[in-house]
């Protein structure tokens, strides 16, 4: 699966929110085409980890490189980097004043300066791929949660990113809509997209992930292939965590 140099590398990353040490010497590398699922108890720093990769959260020490380049500081270079990393949020964050189609074409037109017709054509193909082409002219509030999240995935894909970050993409969804979003993510994974996915969906972790990362108290506690991790987690924290979520 992994070829050449890794796409995302975190080296001894530390991050504090005031006195709170949210990322504690986190080192991680994600190869091209790899799917890494991040799990762990609430407050362990999973979202923060995810958000440092496109510098939505700046770090206090350590280094992050993406595609061989250290993350740029604020400015044009950072904007360019972000355009190459798709991000999908728990609460969708579709632009409320724009239609679904406009949501998907905004980035390509304004950031990539694509011709509107070209951007629209690709947007419609993506909306078709995630199964909501017929919703293109509606506003986000008119769609179900599952449809909104699929639109958000299409919006991120429209930038033709090198990697996709997902921060609990299904946690805000009614149970019957979780599957439709996971299906889209699974198909992305099998197409070879590099993905970092924070999720509580253990089924997805088992079937789609190459590696599972377990975090606790800001530390990266375990990093193993899913079969190995679920069969015999090494740390007490992970055992404890798994026993809690798997009994439900």
Partner 1 sequence: MSVLIDKFDVFAGGFWLTLQICVLAAIGALILGAVVAVLRISPVPPLRAVGTAYVNTFRNLPLTVVMFFAAFGLPALGSNADFLRIPVLDSLFNRLGTDLPYFRFALIALVLYTAAFVCEALRSGVNAVPAGQAEAARSLGLTFGQNLRYVVLPQSWKASIVPLGSVIIAMIKNSALIGFFGVVGDLSATADQLTGAEGYAFIPVAIGISIGYLIMTVPLGALLDRIEKRQAVAR
- Taking the complex as a whole, the smallest distance from the CB of residue 244 to partner 1 amounts, in Å, to 29
Interface residue with partner 1, options 93, 144, 186, 210 (CB under 8 A): 93
Size of the site for partner 1 (CB under 8 A): 28
Least distance to ligand ATP, CB of residue 15, Å: 9
Within 10 Å of residue 187's Cβ, how many Cβ atoms?
A: 13
Q: Give residues 182-211 in contact with Mg ion (rule: CB under 5 A).
A: none
Q: Give the range of 18-26, 31-39, 44-52, 66-74 binding Mg ion by CB under 5 A.
A: 44-52
Q: Which of 11, 25, 67, 84 binds partner 1 (CB under 8 A)?
A: 84
Q: Which of residues 16-55 bind partner 1 (CB under 8 A)?
A: 54
Stretch that binds Mg ion, among 10-18, 42-50, 173-181, 240-248 (CB under 5 A): 42-50
Torsional class of 92: left (φ above 0), alpha (ψ -120 to 50), beta (otherwise): left
Q: For residue 54, state whether it binds Mg ion (rule: CB under 5 A).
A: no
Using CB under 5 A as the binding rule, whether residue 47 contacts Mg ion is answered as: yes
CA atoms within 13 A on the CB side of 66: 24
Let me know: does 196 contact 165? Beta carbons within 8 Å.
yes
Q: Answer yes or no: are the C-beta atoms of 30 and 36 closer than 8 Å.
A: yes
Distances (CA, A) of 24 to 14, 106, 198, 218: 5, 36, 18, 5
Q: Is residue 12 within a helix (H) or strand (E), and if so which, with residue range?
A: strand 8-17
- Contact residues toward Mg ion (CB under 5 A) are 47
- Contact residues toward ligand ATP (CB under 6 A) are 17, 20, 22, 40, 42-48
């Amino acid at each position: 699966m992994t070829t050449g140099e890794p796409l995302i590398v975190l080296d001894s990353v530390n991050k504090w929110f005031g006195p709170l040490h949210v990322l504690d010497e986190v080192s991680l590398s994600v190869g091209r085409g790899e799917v890494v699922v991040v799990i762990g108890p609430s407050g362990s720093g999973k979202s923060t980890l995810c958000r440092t990769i496109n510098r939505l959260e700046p770090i206090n020490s350590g280094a992050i490189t993406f595609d061989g380049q250290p993350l740029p500081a604020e400015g044009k270079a950072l904007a360019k980097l972000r355009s190459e990393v798709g991000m999908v949020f728990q609460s969708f964050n579709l632009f409320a004043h724009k239609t679904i189609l406009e949501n998907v074409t905004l980035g390509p037109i304004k950031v990539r300066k694509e011709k509107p017709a070209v951007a629209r054509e690709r947007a419609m193909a993506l909306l078709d791929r995630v199964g909501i082409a017929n919703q293109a002219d509606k506003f986000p509030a008119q769609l179900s949660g599952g449809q909104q999240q699929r639109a958000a995935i299409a919006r991120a894909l429209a930038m033709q990113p090198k990697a996709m970050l997902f921060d609990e993409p299904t946690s805000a969804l009614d149970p019957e809509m979780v599957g439709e979003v996971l299906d889209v993510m699974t198909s992305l994974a099998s197409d070879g997209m590099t993905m970092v996915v924070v999720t509580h969906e253990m089924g997805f972790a088992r079937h789609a992930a190459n590696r599972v990362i377990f975090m606790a108290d800001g530390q990266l506690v375990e990093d193993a292939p899913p079969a190995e991790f679920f069969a015999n987690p090494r740390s007490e924290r992970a055992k404890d965590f798994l026993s809690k979520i798997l009994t439900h």
